[in-house]
Amino acid sequence: GYDYTRRLPIEIKKGSGWFSITHGFAGYLLQRAAETRKMLRLGMFTDEHFVQTILWNSPYRENRFILEPPMANCEANMRYIDWQRGEPYVLTSEDFETLVASPMLFARKFDENKDMEIIRLLSRYCGEEK
């Protein structure tokens, strides 16, 4: 098939579809909405390509978090995800101590129908619920 990358004068990158970015880079992305639409319209860019490609080809490139082994992508993205017990495992109130002891900023996966108590515990812990 046709190599669409020849039409773009940029280096293509790939990474996690889940990411955390700075306010400055978010503004930079928004300023490039037309470029992003073009990349997506070509059909070769997914959520795992377009942000990473724009970042790599931007002045923000040097500010990226560099993944050091043995960190997994979810750890590099500051997400606590238990892939050992599920796809991913649904966290419960039994996991509360593990979650608050973790250096991660985010967690996945919760299900209010399975265990609403973990959501309440974390809300209280974060000061969201009195």
The long-range contacts involving 68-72, CB below 8 angstroms and separated by at least 24 positions, are none
Percent of the chain beyond pLDDT 90?
38
Cα angle 104-109-115, degrees, rounded to a multiple of 5: 115
| Torsional sign, CA 59, 60, 62, 66 | negative
Q: How many CB atoms lie within 10 A of CB 118?
A: 21
Q: What is the C-alpha separation between 94 and 30, in angstroms, rounded?
A: 40
pLDDT above 50 (res 2): no
Structure tokens at 43: 């059909």
Q: What is the pTM (predicted TM-score) of this model?
A: 0.61
